[in-house]
Amino acid sequence: MRILITGGAGFIGSAVVRRLMEYTSAYVANIDKLTYSGNIDSLACVSSSERYQLHQIDICDAAALDRVFSTFNPTHVMHLAAESHVDRSIDGPAEFIQTNIVGTYTLLEAARRYWHGLNPEDKDLFRFHHISTDEVYGDLGGTEGLFTESTSYAPSSPYSASKASSDHLVRAWQRTYGLPTLITNCSNNYGPYHFPEKLIPHMILNALAGKPLPVYGDGAQIRDWLYVEDHARALVEVATNGAVGETYNIGGHNEKRNLEVVETICSLLEELAPEKPEGVVHYCDLITFVKDRPGHDARYAIDATKIERELGWVPMENFESGMRKTVQWYLKNRSWWQRVLSGDYQLGRLGDKP
């Protein structure tokens, strides 16, 4: 296999790259613009491998994409590159429209040009796997019901609307042009190498620094939490064994209120990091409720029975085991997140590595 991954220096993308390099013999070409959320430190363990290459490219750059397709000759494309932070999409939606919609279109066209030039056997083997989010489905509300692969789209934020648009483009390219595509929609991910602006790492690092732990509204919003390494395993399974034209929902079977998540982090830190910052008696005392964000969905929850039934995937981590591993990782890997907080992780980016 020769797998072209977009966004492979991001949180989920780097987990996929690490899994491919450790558990398969695949060659991997990583296309990443290396914006603020792309971190090559997350790929230090694979960067010297002859099976891995990094190309610092914007997925909106059609000519650059064509060059990588023609020189790398991928058998699979796994498209993870995206702007993904809801708060940032509210403050500045234009970048989300450009990357998530225009970028996906540009990548689809590059893949289609490349695919059309393949011989019949290679054409049959080629796959384009688009990785999306459960946020395209909108707000479940209440405590009943689950998102299935046939749930109607009802995105609430500029971020989720842009991802919904990209999903529609991928389906259209499969239906209209015959490009062999697959789509996955996942629930909230967490785990090692998560950029500190996201909920779980933000709370861990704020608590360790004795800073407030800001919780939107009353913290009653419910999310289904998926350990990132379980997700990476599912994505590789779909890319290599999923059926063309199909959509697979990937969830962790771990519905938790946001406040529960923060309280779990505080409890784990009481055990694993008992020496607290000056002035902090209990980590949970740092919890602070702040004004809710606009259009905040009340509940997401994934029905992942299809991928279990058809591909045999089930998550290996439950919320308790995954969260313990996550907190332990941040305690043991301070240099990784300290370089992110200082901005040093952005220094010395060299572009293409042949």
- pLDDT, one tens digit per residue, over 323-332 is 999 999 999 9
Q: Give the largest Cα separation in the chain, rounded.
A: 68
CA 342 to chain centre: 23
Active site residues: 134-135, 159
Closest residue by Cα to residue 184 from 12, 47, 3? 12
Q: Which two tokens stand for residue 327?
A: 């907190």
List CB contacts of 220: < 8 A, sequence separation 6 or more: 257, 258, 259, 298
What is the C-alpha separation between 225 and 146, in angstroms, rounded?
Answer: 14
Express each pLDDT in 292-311 by its tens digit.
Answer: 988 888 899 999 999 999 99
Express each pLDDT in 163-201 by its tens digit.
Answer: 999 999 999 999 999 999 999 999 999 999 999 989 999
Residue 338 predicted with pLDDT over 90: yes
Averaged pLDDT for residues 218-226: 94
Considering the segment(s) 2-194+225-256+299-318 as one domain, its CATH architecture is 3-Layer(aba) Sandwich (3.40)
Q: pLDDT value at position 349?
A: 58
What is the C-alpha separation between 349 and 82, in angstroms, rounded?
Answer: 20
Express each pLDDT in 61-119 by its tens digit.
Answer: 999 999 999 999 999 999 999 998 888 999 999 999 999 999 999 999 999 999 999 99
The pLDDT confidence band at residue 291, using thresholds 50, 70 and 90, is very high
DSSP one-letter code for 153: P
* pTM for this entry: 0.94
Residue 353 predicted with pLDDT over 80: no
Sorted by where each begins, the domain ranges of the chain are 2-194+225-256+299-318
**58 with 35: CB under 8 angstroms?**
no
